[in-house]
């Protein structure tokens, strides 16, 4: 197993969140992109305003690393129109993967029409542009029943509205890694939450994000069926080291 083929190397802090100067922040983003190129990770996951930079660096290096970005991150509460516009701009700038944050608050509040429309239209936009689409459900904000129901709903909408040969290009993703939990509870992927996603989201692919910090944990996720792992510590994981990162 070449674990690098599963790793979405991730840096999603804003300038404000990083606590760095503008030039230091840009240097950090650039270093993550270059690291992904140097170590042949599956993908570099960055903010939308950094997609052009990544594209330029990857093309210049002749690399096969793909580019992912996040939509309506991390709250997921943007309107459908705003999400589609942000996604279209990311496509225009060279993104390969679109990781939409679901409006999980709408789901929790039983506003299923909002949820259905964003899943259908966001998936349609991505697939018609030959992109991979991922839907982040934010497992830490949901109880077990809601995780099961959300995955089943996304699966139903994709299977009902799109062709079978596109299913492998639609993922359900566990977490943003930015959700604030109480009492130090996990805010990302756990084995129990991922198993629920796999059991109720198949035949869609599953991405585990947040909380995978060691090579052993990553391998365990892959063995149970995960197709992608989002981590800010891709190099540490690939090197068999343990990360102290919280994402």
Q: Hey, CA dihedral for 137, 14, 53, 239, is it positive or negative? A: negative
pLDDT of residue 178: 92
The whole-angstrom separation of Cα 200 and Cα 193 is: 11
Q: Note whether 214 and 189 are within 8 A (CB).
A: no
Both structure tokens of 48: 């939308």
Catalytic residue IDs: 99, 173, 207
Burial class (CB in 10 A: 0-12, 13-18, 19+), 21: exposed
pLDDT of residue 222: 97
Residue ranges per domain, the chain?
3-238
The tens place of each residue's pLDDT in the chain, 247 residues long, gives 799 999 999 999 999 999 999 999 999 999 999 999 999 999 999 999 999 999 999 999 999 999 999 999 999 999 999 999 999 999 999 999 999 999 999 999 999 999 999 999 999 999 999 999 999 999 999 999 999 999 999 999 999 999 999 999 999 999 999 998 888 788 899 999 999 999 999 999 999 999 899 999 999 999 999 999 999 999 999 998 766 665 5
- Annotate 106-128 with b (16+ C-beta within 10 A) or e (fewer): bbeeeeeebbbebbbbbbebbbe
| Nearest alpha carbon to residue 100 among 75, 70, 138 | 70
pLDDT of residue 224: 98
**Long-range Cβ contacts of 69-72 (<8 Å, 24+ apart):** 69/45, 69/95, 69/97, 69/98, 69/99, 70/12, 70/45, 70/99, 70/100, 70/101, 70/136, 70/176, 71/98, 71/99, 71/100, 71/101, 71/122, 72/100, 72/101, 72/103
Burial class (CB in 10 A: 0-12, 13-18, 19+), 129: middle
Helical residues (DSSP H) of the chain, grouped into ranges = 15-18, 22-39, 51-61, 80-93, 104-108, 112-128, 144-161, 191-201, 215-224, 234-238
Cis peptide before 91 (omega within 30 of 0): no
3-class secondary-structure state, position 180: coil
pLDDT of residue 237: 95
| Nearest alpha carbon to residue 227 among 196, 202, 193 | 202
In the CATH hierarchy, which top-level class contains the domain 3-238?
alpha beta
């Amino acid at each position: 197993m070449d674990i690098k083929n599963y790793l979405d190397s991730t840096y999603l802090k804003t300038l404000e969140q990083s606590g760095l100067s503008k030039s230091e922040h840009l240097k950090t983003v650039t270093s993550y992109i270059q690291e992904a190129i140097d170590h042949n990770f599956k993908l570099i996951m960055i903010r939308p305003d950094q997609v052009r930079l990544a594209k330029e660096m990857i093309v210049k290096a002749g690399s096969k690393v793909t580019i992912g970005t996040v939509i309506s991150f991390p709250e997921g509460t943007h309107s459908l129109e705003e999400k589609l516009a942000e996604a279209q701009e990311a496509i225009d700038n060279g993104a390969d993967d679109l990781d939409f944050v679901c409006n999980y608050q709408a789901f929790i509040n039983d506003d299923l029409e909002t949820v259905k429309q964003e899943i259908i239209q966001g998936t349609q936009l991505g697939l018609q542009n030959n992109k991979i689409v991922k839907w982040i459900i934010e497992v830490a904000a949901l109880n077990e029943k809601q995780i099961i129901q959300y995955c089943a709903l996304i699966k139903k909408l994709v299977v009902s509205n799109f062709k079978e040969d596109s299913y492998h290009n639609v993922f359900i993703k566990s977490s943003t890694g930015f959700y604030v939990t109480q009492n130090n509870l996990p805010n990302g992927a756990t084995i129990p939450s991922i198993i629920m996603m796999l059991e109720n989201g198949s035949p869609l692919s599953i991405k585990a994000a947040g909380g995978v910090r060691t090579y052993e944990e990553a391998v365990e996720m892959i063995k149970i069926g995960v197709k992608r792992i989002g981590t800010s510590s891709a190099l540490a994981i690939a090197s068999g080291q343990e990360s102290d990162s919280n994402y």
